[in-house]
Amino acid sequence: MKQVIAVIRSTHLDQVKDALVNVGIVGMTVSNARGFGRQKGQSQKYRGQTYKVDFLEKIRLEVAVADNQVDLVVQTITDAARTGEIGDGKIFILPVEAAYRIRTGERDDVALSSNVED
């Protein structure tokens, strides 16, 4: 299992969410985030020497999936979040050691699957 963490533009959250649901993703967590990338959040020069680093408002989206879903999720997020302009965001992939569905005690791939039975 892997955790896919995407930092994306808030303007693109709904279309990223819809695209992921359309490829069968059944759970995700979203939070407001602040961050900067290599432009340092619209860096501004002061007296030609120092510069200020600003945080920009972003959305952090997390999806835990089986290994064989990772490529699809990355491609889906990329397609839905991309404008081609700076600041489109980043995607990180982390290993997940275990996952549990609290209600049933199911774990791992079963805990992440959509097999709704009630």
Ligand X SMILES: Nc1ncnc2c1ncn2[C@@H]1O[C@H](COP(=O)(O)OP(=O)(O)OP(=O)(O)O)[C@@H](O)[C@H]1O
**Rule CB under 6 A: which residues touch ligand X?**
7, 33, 35-39, 56, 58, 86-90
Candidate list 37, 40, 74, 96; residue touching Mg ion; CB under 5 A: 37
Q: In this structure, how many other beta carbons lie within 10 angstroms of the beta carbon of residue 74?
A: 16
Question: Is residue 84 near Mg ion by the rule CB under 5 A?
Answer: no
Spatial distance between the Cα atoms of 100 and 87, rounded to a whole number of angstroms: 34
Q: Report the residue number, 88 or 106, with the smaller CB distance to Mg ion.
A: 88
The residue number whose beta carbon is nearest to ligand X equals 35
Spatial distance between the Cα atoms of 86 and 66, rounded to a whole number of angstroms: 30
The residue number whose beta carbon is nearest to Mg ion equals 37
3-class DSSP state of 95? strand
